[in-house]
Amino acid sequence: MENGGLNNEVIDKRKEKIKAWLKNPYHLIFIIILILGICIRLYYFNLTKSQPIWWDEADYLAYAKNIAGIVPYWTITSQHNSILPYLVAVFFKVGLSEEIVKFLLELIPSIILIFLVYKICLLMYEDKRIALISSFLMAVLWEVLFNSMRFHVDIPALTLGLLAVYIFWQGYEKGEKIFGKINPKFSIPLAVFLVILTYSMRRGYFIFGIFFLLYMVGTRNIKDLIKDKYNWIALGFSVFLFLFIEKFIYITSEVKNVGIYYHGENPINFLPLQVFNSFFISQQGWLNFFLYLFWIGFILILFNVILSFGYIKKARKTNAQADLFVIITICITLALFIFVLRTPGNFGESRWYFPLLLGAFISISRASLTITDFIKSYNKYLAVIVLIGLMIIGGYFQFSQADLIIKNKVSSFEGIKQASFYVKEISSPEDVIVSVAVPQVVYYAERKTVQPDKIANWENSQVPLDKFLEKLKEMPEAKYLFVSLSQVGHPDWMLKLYGVNGQITGWEIPFMDTKADLATNKQDIRQSKVYGDITFELLNVKSDVLIYTIKR
């Protein structure tokens, strides 16, 4: 009875604390934002949980099956080295499905991101409105939503990176116990540990470490940093963990890997600045409110940092330190792409720039509040309406863009998935599939898969038909051949596509004397063709993939 009464008393106290917490309007608004973010993600997860994987996703997942001992036919490519396949392999090994693994490694971290942004901004700025606006932006940003539905490394890597930022800011900058438990002196070792984990997830995210280093040098005396033994502990631990990851996780060394990304031969260009247009897109150009607000906020923050140069190491109760960190995150991320990667003709993919999102969200928040606070001096109700209107309009276009691209891509490469499952059912484990798409087929069919040029030991995809056939004769285990109309990179004798203004109007499979005119709906499908001792016979068609058997 006494224990029961005590438990009830504890429960009642917790209920009262929760009620008191929810009475704070800022807390209530954040809960609404968090619920919105969760509902959006669950909605799209339900649509995409079984969607076909793309080449880069298959690179991770097929290698995960290799690590788990399910299929030995695929080793990850050097540009996709990551700890992610090892994590997936653990889940595959214990029998979890692809959908559950995606939920655990992509969706859950995506939800955590909303919470992390909110908590980080609360630590950085006294104005809680910045935390609310920034967390709302993380909840609705189309690029985050889209990548949360894919087996990409960006969402889990960003989660680890922002967790490092949270620990760094709570322990190192604010001097608070980390998670209310850990001595703040351990903030740098813990942050560095998470930076290395972030690096192990996605190599380019090493820049989180640069963020911290530059901030520390910019806000503290170098002599004090050198004297701090915890900084040396962090350095020693990071070197050990770095070498461990390079030895046991990555199949190519960092030195060799740099050559893949650094392109000093290309001229410096400022195309990476276009990434903000991509992030804050709207179907109506003049309604790009988030884009305008970003640039306004960035200029305001930059101006504040410049004015604070003389006393930024002394003033601890201003926004100067937080603003400096924001500028560092944005400028260093952009510098990596402008001066190192130097991608010609485009800025790459928006998800590569995720490390600057926190700074971008804060910039939008600062601009929004500057505008609405000015309006508030005349009419506080109008200020609230304007702020809510900016968020609703900007958020709507983010949701619209996410909805469009996610739904349009749900069925992409469905044919490869169906064809692979089909051949898996009818083939023997020792059989080999010839296909331009390789890791997807390996992952789904769990059969060794080889590209036509690799069979012929040719240097590029345009291997001549006679060379391919010559080497194919020496490979009797090759029993199936896929021709996918949605997969690029086929030799000309294998597939030709015809189109006008980017629209496909017809296709041809020359080695089978097969063609189709989509404009007239005329098709000439040849069932089989003989090349000496080899016969190709049409076995089945799955969506946009033609499956041929190779008979001898």
Report in angstroms the alpha-carbon separations of 194 from 130, 199, 213, 302, 435: 25, 8, 14, 28, 39
- pLDDT at 24 > cutoff 90: no
C-alpha–C-alpha distance, residues 93 and 82, integer Å:
18
Burial class (CB in 10 A: 0-12, 13-18, 19+), 344: exposed
Range of the domain at 174: 153-261
In a domain, 94, yes or no: no
Q: According to the model, what pLDDT value does residue 268 have?
A: 83
Tell me the HSE value of 486 on the side-chain side, using a 13 A CA sphere: 15
d(CA 460, CA 94): 39
**Least trusted range by pLDDT, from 111-120, 268-277, 335-344:** 335-344
Which pLDDT tens digit goes with each residue over 443-460? 999 999 999 999 999 988
The separation between CA 110 and the C-alpha centre of its own chain, rounded to angstroms, equals 10
50 occurs within a structural domain: no
Do residues 68 and 89 make contact, with C-beta atoms less than 8 angstroms apart?
yes
Residue 482 DSSP one-character state? E
Average pLDDT score over residue span 151-179: 96
Q: Is residue 333 part of a domain?
A: no
Closest by CA position to 37, among listed 134, 114, 152, 139: 139
pLDDT at 509: 96
Whether pLDDT at 261 is above 80: no
Give the residue from 210, 229, 261 where a domain finishes: 261
Report the candidate in 252, 159, 157 with the shortest Cα–Cα distance to residue 201. Answer: 157
Q: Order of strands, edge to edge, in the sheet holding 478-484? A: 448-450, 432-434, 478-484, 545-551, 534-542, 528-531
The confidence band for 536, taking pLDDT boundaries of 50, 70 and 90, is: very high
How far from 81 is each of 41, 222, 238, 246, CA to CA, in Å?
27, 35, 19, 10
d(CA 418, CA 424): 10
| CB-based burial label for 499 (10 Å; 0-12, 13-18, 19+) | exposed
Cα radius of gyration (the chain): 27
**58 pLDDT more than 80:** yes
Mean pLDDT across the chain, nearest whole number? 91
Residue 187, pLDDT > 90, answer yes
Distance of CA 251 to the CA centre of its chain: 21
Identify the residue with better confidence: 552 or 163.
163
**Residues ≥6 apart with Cβ < 8 Å to 61:** 53, 85, 88, 98, 151, 439, 443
448: part of which helix (H) or strand (E)? strand 448-450
Centre a 10 Å sphere on the Cβ of residue 409 and count the other Cβ atoms it contains.
16
* Of the residues 233, 261, 289, the one at which a domain ends: 261
Q: What is the pLDDT of residue 145?
A: 97
Cβ–Cβ < 8 Å for 445, 61: no
Residue 232 burial (CB count, 10 A): 14
Give residue 3's pLDDT band: very low, low, confident or very high (50, 70, 90). Answer: low
DSSP-derived secondary structure letter, 8? H
Cα dihedral 340, 341, 344, 347 in deg (nearest 10): -110
- Residue 151 reports pLDDT greater than 70: yes
413: tokens are: 């490469």
pLDDT of residue 342: 79
Report if residue 294 sits inside a domain: no
Nearest to 257 by CA among 11, 524, 55, 77: 77
3-state SS, residue 456: coil
Confidence bin at 148 (pLDDT 50/70/90): very high
Q: Within a domain: residue 101?
A: no
CA distance 207 to 226: 21
Distances 118 to 33, 136, 142, 365, 443 between C-alpha atoms, Å: 10, 9, 18, 12, 38
Q: Is residue 521 part of a domain?
A: yes
Of 352, 367, 358, nearest to 302 by C-alpha is 367
Residue 499 pLDDT? 87
**Average pLDDT, integer, range 28-49:** 96
> pLDDT per residue over 215-260, tens digit each?
999 988 888 889 889 899 988 988 888 888 888 787 665 545 555 5
Q: How many domains does the chain have?
A: 2
Domain boundary among 238, 261, 284: 261
Answer whether residue 491 shows pLDDT above 80.
yes
Residue 285: alpha-carbon gap to chain centroid: 26
Phi, psi of 256 (to 5 degrees): -70, -35
The contacts found for 108-113 with CB under 8 angstroms, 24 or more apart, are: 109/155, 109/156, 109/158, 109/159, 110/41, 110/144, 110/145, 110/148, 110/155, 110/159, 111/34, 111/37, 111/38, 111/41, 112/159, 113/138, 113/144, 113/155, 113/158, 113/159, 113/162
391 occurs within a structural domain: no
pTM higher than 0.75 for the full model? yes
Q: Is residue 63 part of a domain?
A: no
Cα separations (Å) of 305 from 81, 314, 325?
Answer: 37, 14, 10
